[in-house]
């Protein structure tokens, strides 16, 4: 019987966030509330990664639970910049300015 190596639970996005932190590449994470269809009073939190892809275009990725936990564990590195009734915005290494200076097609 062949023994197969168990793959780690790291996803590409978790590894991507880790690489962003290690390399100092700016990114943002937004946390917002999403309503369930048909029931506007019942909501759940969503976390979304915002970054510039290799083509310097703005890219978005909904984070799963493992990725969200990774972000929460690195709160000392990722700064909370906005918090209100609609949600939160976390910033790493001044993403807003980085995006203004480097994003293509944002005119």
Q: How confident is the model at residue 6, as a pLDDT?
A: 47
- Tens of pLDDT, residue by residue over 20-41, are 999 999 999 999 998 877 777 7
Of 76, 77, 83, the closest CA to residue 95 belongs to 77
Of 91, 10, 9, 83, the closest CA to residue 51 belongs to 91
Q: Where are the domains of the chain?
A: 12-100
pTM over 0.85? The answer is no
- Tens of pLDDT, residue by residue over 41-82, are 788 899 999 999 989 999 999 998 888 988 999 989 999 999
């Amino acid at each position: 019987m062949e023994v197969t190596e168990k793959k780690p639970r790291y996803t590409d996005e978790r590894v991507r966030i880790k690489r962003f932190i290690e390399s100092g590449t700016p990114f943002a994470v937004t946390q917002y509330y999403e309503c369930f269809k048909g029931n506007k009073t019942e909501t759940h939190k969503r976390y979304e990664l915002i970054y510039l892809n290799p083509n310097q275009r703005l890219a978005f990725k909904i984070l799963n639970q493992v990725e969200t936990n990774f972000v929460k564990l690195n709160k000392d590195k990722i700064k909370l910049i906005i918090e209100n009734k609609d949600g939160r915005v976390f910033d790493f290494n001044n993403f807003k300015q980085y995006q203004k200076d480097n994003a293509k097609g944002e005119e």
